[in-house]
Structure 1
């Protein structure tokens, strides 16, 4: 017929088993999440070893022509045992994944609240600095400009109402001195 020969089946099975061994080695090389159950990992390894050894034995039985022993081996039970442990292991991983996603969402939410808090504090500082600058520089500067206009308009008696020890206070003191000198000069004339 056109079906595969026993030798071809054995070769295909051997190649598949070697690939499974490589994949299992890759899996075992992966780092484990410390939250994973070591008992569950050990149980899936035990079931893998049983199933793997049964498949290797099947290949040997087929190669030796021991067809009755080949069909008598309870490989399906080993496969079912491995699959049961695999499903339990994957369910555990799904739960761990859900926990990780939940933790990540909580961390993201917390980070967003912290960011909002920082933005509010930054805005509050900006407003405080603005009002501080306005109170200590802009408002006194406007009063000084108003006083300069009065002096320029000939009003030498209007008091200059700016006090302080910063630059605005020093400028106001200089302006008062100038106003006093102008009053004395005008008085002398």
Structure 2
């Protein structure tokens, strides 16, 4: 059979020289068994042997070059695979670093500033100025918080003025109107605190919702990048598998060469036995048989060494394939982790929307209660006007 990668002409020439040598040996054995020494003497076995050795040496030289070329290609592929895996890992680390920095800058810092302003307002300090920077969601939220602070300042001022008026008028009202006015003031104060708390809670929920949306988008982008990295690693695994299959084919070819050398050695041994039986007349043929055995031993040794080199290279290829498969499994785990993060961010956004709806319903109920308060205040005013009219 023609070996893959070897010159077909040289392979055919080697096969023809081997067949010629084999035919000469068969004829020699036949003539010796038939005691036809004249015909045996006419056979040119030495020339057939020289031709076969010359062609076989060329065949071995070309086969050694092919084996060296395959080994160099395997080493180059392994080195390229190491660089590829290193670059992929570096890209993943850079992407994760940019994602972390972006989240920290866009979400965490702005969130901390806004939470500090909210805490200041909750502590009763309305003098701290709020700076609204940029047109992002956090900037818009800061602008809304600033507007809310200004409204609270006006509301608190108005409430303070009204409270002073009520306090002044309350001193002139009778015991019954004082009791009604006191209850009205308590209810108004409670509603005011409830409304402020609802506004603060609404702002917080909106902030959570706004934070969850861009984070979900970033998580989806990271998931897609990890999937691309997984596909690249799969391609590297397929390439390593193809190289391993080629190495196995070369091992099979070397095994065939070893088998041929073994069969040649057996034939030479049989020829030596026949020459020994022939005595003095078979001495020349015994020399030929010895040379054939030497050539067969050299062929078997060369095939054994080639097989050892190829098996060593195949072992390294298997190690590289195992490492690439492990890298592929790691990439799959990264993709699954990013996918889970994306799902969690989606659930957070959905929960924030549900909370926002619930808070709107509570705010509506507070608004209805607030609409009843003016009626109570009107009753208090009527009660306050009654003593003045009587006076």
TM surpasses 0.5: yes
Partner of 1:173: 143
Q: Distance in 2 between matches of 1:108 and 1:162?
A: 55
Q: Does 1:106 align with 2:76?
A: yes
Shift of 1:98: 0.9
Q: Distance in 2 between matches of 1:75 and 1:162?
A: 103
**Equivalent pair of 2:132/2:140 in contact (CA under 8 Å):** no
CA-to-aligned-CA distance 1:131-154 (integer Å, 9 cap, x gap): 112111111111111111111122
Q: Distance in 2 between matches of 1:165 and 1:182?
A: 24
Gap change, CA 1:70 and 1:162, over 3 Å in 2: farther
Q: Secondary structure at the match of 1:159?
A: coil
Partner of 2:4: 32
Which ranges in structure 1 are unaligned for 5 or more consecutive residues?
Answer: 1-27
Q: Secondary structure at the match of 2:133?
A: coil
Partner of 1:53: 23
Q: Which has the higher helix share?
A: 2
| RMSD after superposition | 2.5
Q: Distance in 2 between matches of 1:94 and 1:31?
A: 13
Q: Distance in 2 between matches of 1:179 and 1:71?
A: 122
Gap change, CA 1:31 and 1:163, over 3 Å in 2: farther
Q: Distance in 1 between matches of 2:85 and 2:51?
A: 50
**Equivalent pair of 1:140/1:162 in contact (CA under 8 Å):** no
**Equivalent pair of 1:43/1:85 in contact (CA under 8 Å):** yes
TM norm structure 1: 0.70
Which ranges in structure 2 are unaligned for 5 or more consecutive residues?
Answer: 161-391
Aligned pair partner of 1:126 in 82, 91, 96? 96
Q: Distance in 2 between matches of 1:80 and 1:43?
A: 13
Q: Provide the aligned length of Structure 1 versus Structure 2.
A: 159
TM norm structure 2: 0.37
Q: Does 1:158 align with 2:108?
A: no
**Equivalent pair of 2:3/2:11 in contact (CA under 8 Å):** no
**Equivalent pair of 1:61/1:69 in contact (CA under 8 Å):** yes
Partner of 1:19: none
Q: Secondary structure at the match of 1:113?
A: helix
Q: Which has the larger radius of gyration?
A: 2
Q: Secondary structure at the match of 2:94?
A: helix
Gap change, CA 1:65 and 1:160, over 3 Å in 2: farther
Shift of 1:160: 2.4
